[in-house]
Structure 1
Amino acid sequence: MLLSLAFSALLLLVTIKAGLGNSFLKNGDWRTSESIGAADADVIVRAVVAIGGLLASTREDSMYYTISSVAGEPLNLDCRYRIEGGDYDANWWSITAYGWDYFLIPNEQKRYSFNNDNINRGEDGRWVIHVSATEENGNWLPVGPSGAPASEKSTHHDFDLLLRLYTPGEAYLQNPGSAPLPVVTQEGCS
């Protein structure tokens, strides 16, 4: 009986660490799940959100998109990334960098995200965010080592980006796999 209980606990831990796996919808390199925030979400989805999606809201009030790789390459601290976009059909949106440990990445600037209110835009209303471990001009989102010990790392990527859309429009609620999203490109690696 103890062996069965230990095996069940291990299986649950592996399932939760695997996350939502195939239940994600892809939109370019971004991923989302229609189960996050849904009233009928199963116990695994709820556990994954409780661990990695602190303070997640209901699906009707928000949509969350995450990206942990660009063109199949995991987000890496040795690389520079460019996020380009404009406004989105939502009352408020933000892009935040999180370490592989699901927490904000410590940095001297105490800058963890950009949103539709604090981002600098071009004359055409479009914007660019530079994501890197070294300082950049303009809208720079610093990334660096996570606050957790490196020995605990269980992912291939060093950080991920989360796009939050609060009170999203119908395109996000009805067609999250094809709704307009920011474009992320890798600019180079050292």
Structure 2
Amino acid sequence: MRFVLRLLMSIAVALSVGFGLSYYALTDGRLFGAVSLGPWTTWPDIGSPAPNPYSNGHITRAAALHLGRSEGLQFVATTDSDGDALDLGCTYRLDGHVPVSTFWTLAAVDANWVNLAAPGTDAALRSSEIIRQSDGALAIHVGTQLRPDTWLELNGSGPFSLVLTLYDTTALSSFASSDVTMPSITLEDCA
């Protein structure tokens, strides 16, 4: 009787751990194939012809159309550079350089990937629309409160994510992976 109880307990623990890790890998999966650069995270295998099994499962579960590896990379930030969650009640500033790419876009989305751009504005900020510093660095304000210079105007409340999509880029390719830098995300103030 004792043997049967221990066997059933072992099976229950094994199934719980197995299904739990599988669920984590398919929903978040930052430990499996993700590359983090500061607050930004990307999954470079997603666009490859033969992604790893965890990336493949993530693609299938999300049922999203992703860029091919030669087309570009998508970086997602859910926190600022200090590790605090991004909140629509606050204003943030992105500073620095974007990896070399032909074109890029910056958008804000909620947990369901619904775009948070304010009504009457473009859904994303494009690289051709920003004001650059004299050294080529960008300075973008993100939030619901009006700011000078380049501003990504948002609408809503609660947590959000920033999505930076680089098109036709060599970032994280075997040639240029050591010198990739991403813009920092700094909290300016909260309402």
**TM-score, with length taken from structure 1:** 0.74
Q: How many residues align?
A: 171
Letter of the 1:19 counterpart:
D
User: 1:1-190 to 2 correspondence within 5 Å?
Assistant: 14-15=23-24, 18-23=27-32, 24-42=34-52, 44-49=54-59, 54-70=64-80, 71-86=82-97, 88-145=99-156, 158-169=159-170, 171-174=171-174, 176=177, 179-190=180-191
Aligned mates of 1:112, 1:81 — CA distance in 2: 18
DSSP-derived class of the 1:65 partner: strand
Query: Deviation per CA, 1:5-44, whole angstroms, max 9, x where unpaired?
Result: xx9xx97994476322312211111111222112222565
Q: 1:15·1:44 contact (CA, 8 Å) conserved in 2?
A: no
Q: 1:99·1:145 contact (CA, 8 Å) conserved in 2?
A: no
Letter of the 1:91 counterpart:
T
Letter of the 1:159 counterpart:
F
Aligned mates of 1:187, 1:101 — CA distance in 2: 26
- Unmatched segments (≥5 aa) in structure 2: 1-15
Identity %: 22
Q: 2:117·2:152 contact (CA, 8 Å) conserved in 1?
A: no
**RMSD of aligned alpha carbons:** 2.9
Query: Deviation per CA, 1:44-82, whole angstroms, max 9, x where unpaired?
Result: 534534665843211122111110011221111111100
Higher CA-based Rg? 2
Q: Which structure has more helix as a fraction of its residues?
A: 2
The change in CA–CA distance for 1:85 and 1:50 in structure 2 (over 3 A counts) is: farther
The change in CA–CA distance for 1:34 and 1:69 in structure 2 (over 3 A counts) is: same
**TM-score, with length taken from structure 2:** 0.74
Aligned mates of 1:89, 1:172 — CA distance in 2: 11
Report the equivalent of 1:154.
Answer: none
1:164 Cα shift?
1.2
Aligned mates of 1:106, 1:52 — CA distance in 2: 22
Q: 2:106·2:164 contact (CA, 8 Å) conserved in 1?
A: yes
Letter of the 1:65 counterpart:
F
DSSP-derived class of the 1:75 partner: coil
